[in-house]
Amino acid sequence: MTKLQSEFKKIDNILYEDAGTNGANDYMAQMSWILFLKYLDDLEDTRKHEAVFAGKEYTPLFKDEFQWGSWAAQKRADNSPDISARQTGQDLIDFVNQKLFPYLKEFKNPALPPNSLLYKIGEVFGEFTNKIVSGRNLREVIDIIDLLEFKTQEELDDLSVLYEDRLKLLGGAGRSGEYYTPRPLIQAIVKAIDPQLGKTIYDGAAGSAGFLTESYAYLRDKAKTPSELKFLKENTFFGKNKKPEPYLLGTMNMILHGIESPNMIHGNTLSEDTHDIQERDRYDYILANPPFGGAEHAEVQRNFTIKSRATENLFMQHFMKKMRVGAEAAIVIKNTFLINETNGATGSIRKELLENFNLHTILDLPSGVFSATGSTGVKTVVLFFRKGEPTKNIFYYQLNVGRNLGKTFPLNADDMVDFLEKYTSRQDSKNSWTVPVDSLDIAEPDLSVTNPNVEDVVKLKSPNEILEDIKKIDDDIVAILNSLKVDANN
């Protein structure tokens, strides 16, 4: 792993010097498309050997001119690098920009199945351009990546771990509440949900595909037959990303974990009309950390029964509609979802959640969970719910890790052990308790986290109580002003 880290650092230094790349996002994206092509070359090599062993002919993915060994890493007969044959400088840049990328984009062809590897190649290269302007720099990056191999599961695992570490360094993605979800949290959620082979898993806000790749890692060793492994790789995981950068990075991350042709779609999840969702469009598990704090315009809001500008409210409705009866979901969301807009959109969604879904668990996260990835200190919760039965009891767990989370002390797997134990046992403790739904006001459901086992906790007032207090203060001020007027007149 140390050698891989060193090689990635070399690539960073090279791209730092290039006039066309600017910052970690560019470095990651440019490294990714080159890694993608090297992965495809190793995949082809593996498939070629399998075909020979089976006595079959093998048809390469690309024409000779565009195969990795023809333009990127030419070799002599003894497999040593043929330095004299390798393009560099402006010739290399011209080939990549004017020939390679246009050729690869053509694979996004309606004649090809959308879930085929070739179509996926066309989608990926249809979204990106080569930003490296120096042919010398591009040659150096290619030469480093050519030394990496993707031929064994161990090699893929090592590379995928490092790739995930690099994605983590990107932290938050910006203004729309898109944040890298810490892997210990994702792993704990996957363990709690315990997805089963033969089922489908969906993330409509996939980002770097953390929920999908961790679910794959959880299920991979359970696939015992070729048919089970085929279904796991080809028909289990589905994701969608609105922006091109996370689309490429999420796709690459899935590939590096061993999912050769990811079912990752580039598009706005919220543009799907929830009124038109059919049974064939639904999934068995939905795991997601959707953007929050963003806003959508009226055209998008028409796709939902409960209108709201807040992206978190729209995503919640989308996920609820995309669940099959009996499906399980775990959604990371701002804790304000539990109490905001008692008589508004958020309150209406909460009410539907309680009436038509079993909101069986709420995991309350400390504010530093996301600041540890360089993104945000916002307070969040994880909602665990099942479709097709009303909520009777809600099990709350308040995660207390005993330290201030941040970059120096990030969330780790040990922090989640007690939660996983209590999630299974439903046992009350100083950090966990159960609230019967019949103790709540279903007409105006307040699901806020109030730990009854912690002494001297100041109960926060509801929005209505705060408004009543403000009105009383206003009335008192008016009375005082009127009294002063009377005194002045006297």
- Which of the following CATH numbers is that of domain 2-149: 1.20.1260.30, 3.40.50.970, 1.10.1070.11, 3.40.710.10? 1.20.1260.30
Question: What is residue 253's predicted lDDT score, i.e. its pLDDT?
Answer: 85
Contact 262, 303 (CB under 8 A): no
In sequence order, the 6+-apart residues with CB closer than 8 A to the CB of 325 are 387, 388
What's the confidence (pLDDT) of residue 91? 95
Of 447, 190, 211, 204, give the one whose Cα is nearest residue 311. 204
> Do the Cβ atoms of 145 and 132 come closer than 8 Å?
no
For position 488, what pLDDT does the model report?
Answer: 55
CA gap 89, 372 in Å, rounded: 41
Give ∠ CA 42-46-50 in degrees, rounded to 5.
165
- pLDDT value of position 261: 83
Low-confidence ranges of the chain (pLDDT < 50): 172-177, 372, 374-375, 457
Q: Where are the domains of the chain?
A: 2-149, 162-439, 461-490
pLDDT at position 46, please? 86
pLDDT for the residue numbered 377: 62
Say how far apart CA 268 and CA 257 lie, in whole Å.
Answer: 25
- Residue 256: the pLDDT is 79
pTM, to two decimals: 0.81
pLDDT score, position 252: 81
Q: Give the model's pLDDT for residue 2.
A: 65
Residue 489: the pLDDT is 58
Please say whether the structural domain 162-439 has been given the CATH code 3.40.50.150: yes
